[in-house]
Amino acid sequence: SQQGEEDPQALSIQEGENATMNCSYKTSINNLQWYRQNSGRGLVHLILIRSNEREKHSGRLRVTLDTSKKSSSLLITASRAADTASYFCATRPASGTYKYIFGTGTRLKVLA
Amino acid sequence: NAGVTQTPKFQVLKTGQSMTLQCAQDMNHEYMSWYRQDPGMGLRLIHYSVGAGITDQGEVPNGYNVSRSTTEDFPLRLLSAAPSQTSVYFCASSSGHQPQHFGDGTRLSIL
């Protein structure tokens, strides 16, 4: 399988704590994207980081990318109950194809 | 602006039946894709299109056909449904290197 791996598979934290989830991938990439999926819904884009970028911020989200290790992390600071969802990384290959490869996802539960 | 619209939302089929899952986008995106999502597997790419008249296979294309006669529409056809095709199917569209926009999915059960 070409799928990326995410860890942890599931994460449960208290409201106000930070949540960190990691993504590893197998091939050289053009960019890496993080998506959120609420139960029973489609995926919603959170943040995109290009292969020549190392860190990116968007509100309470911080994404890092280490292309030498083929890995990325998503940090959600000061989590809220509304952050409860599954989070997926997706990579677009450097070869230029449109064949996005998704990770297996992290299920985050934020307890109020 | 509806974004990406998938129909139907739910469908139950018998083994061997055929059907078409519809996907339409109103954002004039050149790229469209179909994914299936199974428990613990994340999303896997079935087929994709880089423009009207151009389609290509993804990671798991067997048992599915697609066509792209217009920029807006990208239907997915199940030729002869099998229980292994029970899944949630998502359609997505994007432009350039921008992020994908997803529909809300079609939940398909094959008995």
A18-67 pLDDT tens trace: 999 999 999 899 999 999 999 888 899 999 999 999 999 999 999 999 99
Which tokens in the block code for residue B60? 């798991």
Helix (H, G, I), strand (E, B) or coil at A18: coil
Count interface pairs A-B at CB distance under 8 A.
62
Convert A32-100 into a string of H (helix), E (strand) and C (coil).
EEEEEECCCCCEEEEEEEECCCCEEEECCEEEEEECCCCEEEEEECCCCHHHCEEEEEEEEECCCCCCC
Name, in order, each residue with C-beta under 8 angstroms of B85's C-beta and a sequence gap of 6 or more: B36, B63, B78, B108, B110
B38 and chain A: CB distance < 8 Å anywhere? Answer: no
Mutation pick from B6, B43, B56, B101 vs chain A, by most beta carbons of A within 10 Å, is: B43
B59–A99 CB contact, under 8 Å:
yes
Tell me the average pLDDT across A54-82: 97
Mutation pick from A34, A97, A100 vs chain B, by most beta carbons of B within 10 Å, is: A100
Q: How far is B44 from chain A (nearest CA, A)?
A: 7
pLDDT-based confidence at A2, cuts 50/70/90?
low
Nearest to B6 by CA among B69, B96, B75: B75
How far apart, in whole angstroms, are the C-alpha atoms of residue A106 and residue B39?
12
Query: Which pLDDT does position A3 carry in this prediction?
Result: 63
Q: Which mean pLDDT values do the consecutive 10-residue runs of chain B (111 residues) have?
A: 91 96 97 92 92 94 96 96 96 91 96 95
Return the CA Rg of chain B. 13
Query: Which pLDDT does position A96 carry in this prediction?
Result: 72
Using CA coordinates, name the residue in chain B closest to A89.
B42
How far apart, in whole angstroms, are the C-alpha atoms of residue B56 and residue B69?
14
Residue in A2, A42, A103 closest to B59 by CB? A2
In DSSP terms, which residues pair with A86 in a beta bridge? A37, A107
pLDDT-based confidence at A5, cuts 50/70/90?
confident
Using CA coordinates, name the residue in chain A closest to B93.
A98
A92–B40 CB contact, under 8 Å:
no
pLDDT > 90: percent of chain A: 78
How far apart, in whole angstroms, are the C-alpha atoms of residue A63 and residue A75?
6
Tell me the average pLDDT across A69-80: 97
pLDDT > 70: percent of chain A: 97
Contact B90, B105 (CB under 8 A): yes
Query: Which pLDDT does position B42 carry in this prediction?
Result: 84
pLDDT-based confidence at A93, cuts 50/70/90?
confident
Which tokens in the block code for residue B59? 């990671």
pLDDT-based confidence at A69, cuts 50/70/90?
very high
Higher pLDDT, B103 or A6: B103
Contact B31, B99 (CB under 8 A): no
